[in-house]
Amino acid sequence: MSSSIRRALLLSFLGLAGKAHAAIPLQACDSPAFATVLHAAPARLEARAVWLDRRLAQWPGMASEGRFRLYHSSGGSIVAAAGAKVQGAAGVLELAVQAGAIPPAAAQRFKYVAPGPVLALNDADLSRIAQLQREQLVLVREDASGTVLAATRLQAAGALDDLYAAAEAIPDLGATPRASATTFTLWAPTAQQAAVCIYDKGTGRARAIHPLAFDATTGAWSAQAAGDLSGRYYKYAVDVVADGSGLVRNLVTDPYSVSLTTDSKRSYIADLDAARLKPQGWDMHRAPDTVRASADMSVYELHVRDFSRDDTSVPVNKRGKYTAFGETHSNGMRHLQALAKAGLTDIHLLPVYDIASVPETGCALPKPAGAASSERQQALVMKTARTDCYNWGYDPYHYNAPEGSYASDPRDGARRIIELREMVMNLHRAGLRVGMDVVYNHTFAAGQKEKSVLDRIVPGYYHRLDAAGAVAQSTCCDNTATENRMMAKLMIDSAVLWARHYRMDSFRFDLMGHQPRAAMERLQAAVDKAAGRSVQLIGEGWNFGEVENGARFVQASQLSLNGSGIGTFSDRARDAARGGGAGDAGEAVIKRQGYINGLVYDANARADKRPRSDLLQAADMIRVGLAGTLRSYPLVNADGVTRKLAEMDYGGQPAGYASQPGETVNYVENHDNQTLYDANALKLPLATSTPERARVQVLGLAINAFSQGVAYFHAGSDILRSKSLDRNSFNSGDWFNRLDWTYRTNHFGTGLPPAPDNAQDWPLFKPLLANPALRPQPQDIAFTRDAFRDLLAIRASSTLFRLRTADEVAQRLRFFNVGPQQEATVIAAHLDGRGYPGAGFAGIRYFINVDKLAHTVTDEAARGMRLRLHPVQAAATAGDKRAAEARFDSTAGSFDIPPRTAVVFVEE
């Protein structure tokens, strides 16, 4: 036994001295229940008081009169009813109202806590508080006779972070197998005891149980088992006090699990550096060296199951699996290879960590059928939505383990590790870097629910709590609290694991604005160090919920991340291009047209008459996106006034928010909301032909391709992907999330989209889905595919589309055809390439004409120049033949731009 384990056993003994704790027996490991109540709680109690540190607590809204007492009970048996005396407590501590100032660090961290008395423990009791945090604690305001005036539990994170600050440095949380012994380490500072159950297989009875020893310095429990237990499975048995339950024994998997068995029932013991877990060539292979800075990234967002589920060129047993990416001659891999050849740099995978919402074996496979606008398809899909094989995966269960439903054998904890690594290696070999979507802002479950992991180990710590102590759910689910020391550590440790052990080249953070900027910056430094290179971070910087406007901390949000180098998705050009907003419903989804689909210049039948100023404003917002949404970029606005983008208004916010181009992620479509094709199906006039609809799609993709910053594309946007108008297909099954790599159909008109998020708009959707004139033909899909590849090639051909700094953008990007007299349906810009490394050309002029008509625009600075069509568009193989109709008159400096066409001219 090591000296550290021996010391921890002694500390554990001392900490529990005087208490009778029967050791957790082996049979507990095989309990059919995930939780066993050892001593039931008499009642539930809100947690309205907040520990600010180990000594101070604040009780918002409470009067200061009376006496304050802290009662404790190891069995969770306290009853503190107003008007009565406290019952069921094992002891009590006196607290005094603090007259002095709160320490600055605590005052800043808990600035959101409403005013109320700040209470302090007596100095003599400070040495006891760590032990008492392992019991039920109830704060009571009493009168002189001891009658309860008010009672509350306390939110513990502030105390635990202060008491166990040393835990942040623990290097080996989880299971660590070595030749001589396997170590298990679990951070559970409020547990009364803990043990690890060892199993030979993913099913069957436990072979051994080892008590864990408590370290009073870190709050971690640990044990060593003899020998290398790699390939075996384990669970923890943890005795904790949980509100409303009492003292419970939770059988729970490891938050630091690196793999699991089927449906995450048991954690898997593995050394990720072991040779047996590495596919052949893993150590030697390298990612493509195509990205030197974030602005070089051209990203294709892809779901593992979507990629191959319907690809008949993939063997049946590999469809929807990690292994499909090894089928180099499949239709899907040929498509990705062609994109890489054209200039795509990255695949971003929707979640591939362990998710809670898909059965890993025996999932339902409904077979919908019905008319183009029928309700039948969605009804069948929704019938099995909770048990089918599909979900986007924003339901994190275990952050550090690969998802098992994508593995060939989810029963074997090794297979998912090996096969995910094979997928990464196969994408790298195809010329594509790999990024993954991570969802550290919430968990699938909290409290004492079966699929709650964190909360059943340290109740009330890992999640962000509201004023009553309930878990906040502004993200959709149970919000995590990455402002708390050990939740931030879990997030950072997890990202490091993926970067180091799976060679992830970048990360996309779901709802990143719910995380502190400081935590994200620490994460950036940690993953860069682990990978030995720059790992790009991008994410959703939306500002909402209980953290909105910096209510709790400086967020990793759009307006707060400038200067960090971390990228956020920009909704400025997205909404201007598409029209309307993500929350539109009813007639607004049709009436609110955007820049590319007819705003003012091609109104649909339901659109209100809109003034030309609306079109001018939309054009300016497109320019904002093309300029990288940079705060400092000066733009001549439609009123003729030059303003920095930060001085332009976007719904009450600055239009420009980024400090550098790499801090902006440009997109017009991703997995959320209707696809671009579907949005255009709603907004374009009904008479618009499918070839013209394809051209409108390309216009949206061109805005992305020409924008400074990261270019982000949704898988299938280049083949007119439709989800049959579904606005939220996260749980819409395979049927509404299909991709066709044979380019025969885009799946528009395959039934009304699922009722939960769409039924209110079915009357609007039904006639559109039933209209065969809105279904593109194979030639429309092929046109979009080829034109998109040309856009990628044009972007890749010159660093002028990928400028590194705000100063370079200001110096080298110039918009013309601006101001009040502009031709508002044409975006025109010049990029100066003189003396710029990798520019390829002395200058570039690009044009995006969204109108149904050709237009002529003039650039006085182009008079007398010799310009020609970009070689990609001039080639006989060009996807968009109409671009070749563009003309440049050197004498006049004028450009004739064909209708609904993106055109690029170059200067040698």
Q: Which residues are catalytic?
A: 510, 540
Q: Alpha-carbon dihedral of residues 235, 236, 242, 246, nearest 10 degrees?
A: 100
Helices (H), 135-242: 157-163
Report yes or no: 462 and 486 within 8 Å, Cβ to Cβ. yes
Q: Residue 585: how many CB atoms within 10 A of its CB?
A: 13
Number of CB atoms found within 10 A of residue 371's CB: 14
Angle between helices 612-626 and 690-706 (to 10 degrees): 50
Question: Hey, is 844 helix, strand or coil?
Answer: strand
Asked if residues 553 and 547 have their Cβ atoms less than 8 Å apart, the reply is yes
CA 373 – CA 443 distance, rounded (Å) = 36
Provide the 10 A C-beta neighbour count for residue 65. 10
- List the strands of the sheet with 813-816, edge to edge: 813-816, 826-832, 843-849, 901-907, 867-869
Q: In this structure, is the dihedral angle defined by the CA atoms of residues 74, 77, 82 and 84, taken in order, positive or negative?
A: negative
Task: Report whether 635 contacts 314 (CB < 8 A).
Answer: no
Token pair recorded at residue 906: 């170059």
Strand partners, 51: 57
| CB proximity list for 670: less than 8 A, separation 6 or greater | 301, 569, 712, 714
- Residue 83, phi-psi category: left (phi > 0), alpha (psi -120 to 50), beta (remainder): left
User: How crowded is the C-beta side of 753, counted as CA atoms within 13 Å?
Assistant: 30
710-714/298-302 β-pairing: parallel
Q: Which residue has the tokens 């033949």?
A: 881
Q: If 0-12 CB within 10 Å is exposed, 13-18 middle and 19+ buried, where does residue 787 land? A: buried
Angle between helices 676-683 and 690-706 (to 10 degrees): 130
Q: Which residues contact 103 (CB under 8 A, 6 or more apart)?
A: 52, 53, 56
Can you count the helices (H) and strands (E) in the chain? 20, 42
Nearest CA to 403 among 393, 271, 507?
393
Q: Are 863 and 891 in contact (CB under 8 A)?
A: yes
HSE-CB for 94 with a 13 A CA cutoff: 7
DSSP string covering 804-831, please? -SHHHHHHHEEEES-STTS-TTEEEEEE
- The number of beta carbons lying within 10 Å of the beta carbon of residue 447 is 17
CA distance linking residue 155 with residue 20, whole number of Å: 27
In whole angstroms, give the CA distance from residue 261 to residue 268.
7
Q: Which residue shows structure tokens 């009590």?
A: 92
